[in-house]
Amino acid sequence: DVKVTQSSRYLVKRTGEKVFLECVQDMDHENMFWYRQDPGLGLRLIYFSYDVKMKEKGDIPEGYSVSREKKERFSLILESASTNQTSMYLCASGRVFGQPQHFGDGTRLSIL
Amino acid sequence: KNQVEQSPQSLIILEGKNCTLQCNYTVSPFSNLRWYKQDTGRGPVSLTIMTFSENTKSNGRYTATLDADTKQSSLHITASQLSDSASYICVVSGNTGGFKTIFGAGTRLFVKA
């Protein structure tokens, strides 16, 4: 069974902390994505990566960075966490450029 | 502006009944349209994907339709079950000066016994 695994289901951090969210996929997909999901809004793309060490900004990249050192792993970094970054974060992977296919179960992040 | 709008926002139906969820989009040029099911506390799972030339696609009790001329899609659920309670998300991809995938806000479906 194909899998996208996010390292934490729930995370609580403090304002100003540097936060790392990790995602691993086992399908050998070139493309990986990070989204945030907020009530009443569609998923919004933060960053995506189409190859190792390659990344593209999505619609809301401010305050975030990413790292893709290995094909199967895509990390989202909150450089200095703020309360408006409290959200559900979803990682996805896919074979076709720009299109997510399989999602992880999400990390619910609270910034206090 | 590229948009995907879903209706209704939420819906309550009795177990065993049918229902239809709507999705209107303005993404152009169009590449494909997916319907996802998202259970509470889980990530979205793809139900169907349709390209421009397809106007219907089924996955068990789920049937999606696409009218590319009017830019409308629907997801029909037959003989609903309690496990169908979830959010259903319409996602449209297109090549709009750089490839774009746009998510609707979803329809929250509650199936009651």
* pLDDT tens digits along B6-46: 999 999 999 999 999 999 999 888 889 999 999 998 999 99
Which residues, 6+ apart, have CB-to-CB distance to A47 below 8 Å?
Answer: A33, A34, A55, A56, A57, A58, A61, A64, A65, A66, A76
- For residue A36, list chain B residues with Cβ-Cβ distance below 8 A: none
Which residues, 6+ apart, have CB-to-CB distance to B92 below 8 Å?
Answer: B2, B4, B23, B25, B27, B30, B32, B33, B34, B101, B102, B104
Q: Are strands B107-112 and B10-14 parallel, antiparallel or unpaired?
A: parallel
- For residue B101, list chain A residues with Cβ-Cβ distance below 8 A: 45, 98-100
Which residue bears the tokens 């100003």?
A16
Nearest to B7, CA basis, from B67, B88, B85, B102 = B88
- pLDDT, chain A, mean: 94
Q: Do B103 and A40 touch (CB under 8 A)?
A: no
What φ, ψ does residue B54 adopt, rounded to 5°? -100, 135
Model confidence pLDDT, tens digit, residues B17-28 = 999 999 999 988
pLDDT of residue B96: 63
Q: Do A42 and B4 touch (CB under 8 A)?
A: yes
Q: Do B46 and A41 touch (CB under 8 A)?
A: no
**Rounded mean pLDDT, B67-93:** 96
- Compute the count of residue pairs across chains A and B with CB atoms less than 8 Å apart: 42
What is the end-to-end Cα distance of chain B in Å, rounded? Answer: 41
What φ, ψ does residue B82 adopt, rounded to 5°? -55, -35
pLDDT of residue B94: 85
**Rounded mean pLDDT, A43-55:** 93
Token duo for residue B105? 């806000």
Distance from CA of B96 to the nearest CA of A (A): 12
- For residue A104, list chain B residues with Cβ-Cβ distance below 8 A: 43
**Are the beta carbons of A50 and A58 closer than 8 angstroms?**
no
